[in-house]
Chains A and B, each alone.
Chain A
């Protein structure tokens, strides 16, 4: 069965700390892994990874994929209170009737950054 497992489920850090969030997956026909940030409302897109070993970076956030070991990490350096959110990992595609657009989501990691 296709699945995505994120760890830890929750994390509390102080401003300035560096955090690493983990995502492991088992998907029959892997195409891409995506990271989303969810604050109070809808998930917003962070990164999409398709190739092993190539780091994607956006400001203090970075992510890398290991297709051999079937996992990805999301790093946040110099954390700020505004980084507090649930971080979702999603892998696609999951085949429902052959559609190539579906994603399977992990349960998320809830990050709380204290001042």
Chain B
């Protein structure tokens, strides 16, 4: 039981490049989330999903897209990377409301 896994761990992008951050959970959780965490700040919700085929925007969705074709996977897509997207990205999952389990994070730098 690996929990929530994320790849890659680190990535450096040039402005305007695109990439996909991968997230997989093996706990059969319905809810999945993408957060970003900037230095000295709490976690801000980017997108979330309440089940396969259902996604919705969180607090800071601009510049990102998601899909949820299976229960296990919830990739986050950055289409045109900007320096403001430099951050640490966490994926999380939960069975229902309440406790969320977090992945190890992806540190992204856009230069």
Contact = CB atoms under 8 A, between A and B. Distances in A.
Contacts of A9: 40
Contacts, number: 71
B96 A100 contact: yes
Chain A, interface residues (CB within 8 Å), range: 20 to 34
A68 interface: no
Chain B, interface residues (CB within 8 Å), range: 20 to 34
Contact of B90 (A42, A45, A106): A42
B42 A97 contact: no
A41 B33 CA distance: 17
A107 B48 contact: no
A113 interface: no
Contacts of B40: 9, 107
A77 to B, nearest CB: 24
Given A41-B104, A42-B103, A99-B56, A107 B42 contact: yes
A58 to B, nearest CB: 14
Interface of A is mostly: loop
B43 A101 contact: no
Contact of B48 (A32, A96, A108): A96
Interface in A60-95: 88, 90, 92-94
A48 interface: yes
B62 interface: no
Contacts of B41: 107
A106 B44 CA distance: 10
